[in-house]
């Protein structure tokens, strides 16, 4: 039916006997293809844009998550540094307290039963010339 209507529309309106009939032409594909792909191309571009936008959004969320994790790790490291500095200061105080002269003297006298030196005398050793093993007697 559509073909018959199409063939009627291609016939000339005037019934001229001397006018040559026009050959029936196929409908122009240009006009159809030019009007039809616009929505398809638009939908393809829109789909690609949405996909790219979603990927960018996912990338941003991933980067934000990574930044938060690194921030937490940095905070934990700073806390550990502070704790170790306090522990080092405490250990330095203990070393100073344990190496005090009065404490060492008290341990020597009370625990090891040592006595303080009252008189100090120095001995000098004279060397004798001679053969080794000779005592000089």
pLDDT in tens, 55-104: 999 999 999 999 999 999 999 999 999 999 999 999 999 999 999 999 99
Torsion of the alpha carbons at 51, 53, 57 and 63, rounded to the nearest 10: 100
pTM: 0.43
Distance CA 57, CA 98 (A): 61
Q: How far apart are CA 35 and CA 75, in angstroms?
A: 61
Which residues in 21-56 are b (16+ Cβ under 10 Å) and which e? eeeeeeeeeeeeeeeeeeeeeeeeeeeeeeeeeeee
Give the chain's mean pLDDT: 81
Higher pLDDT, 33 or 66: 66
> Which DSSP symbol is given to 126?
P
């Amino acid at each position: 039916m559509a073909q018959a209507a199409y063939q009627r529309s291609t016939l000339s309106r005037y019934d001229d006997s001397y006018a040559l009939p026009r050959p029936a032409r196929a409908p122009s594909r240009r006009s159809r293809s030019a009007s039809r792909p616009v929505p398809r191309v638009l939908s393809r571009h829109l789909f690609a844009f949405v996909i790219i936008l979603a990927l960018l959004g996912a990338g941003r969320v991933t980067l934000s998550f990574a930044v938060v994790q690194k921030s937490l790790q940095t905070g934990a490291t700073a806390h550990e540094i502070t704790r170790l500095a306090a522990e080092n200061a405490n250990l330095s105080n203990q070393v100073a307290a344990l190496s005090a002269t009065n404490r060492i003297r008290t341990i020597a006298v009370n625990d090891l039963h040592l006595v303080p030196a009252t008189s100090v005398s120095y001995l000098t050793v004279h060397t004798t010339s001679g053969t080794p093993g000779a005592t000089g007697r």
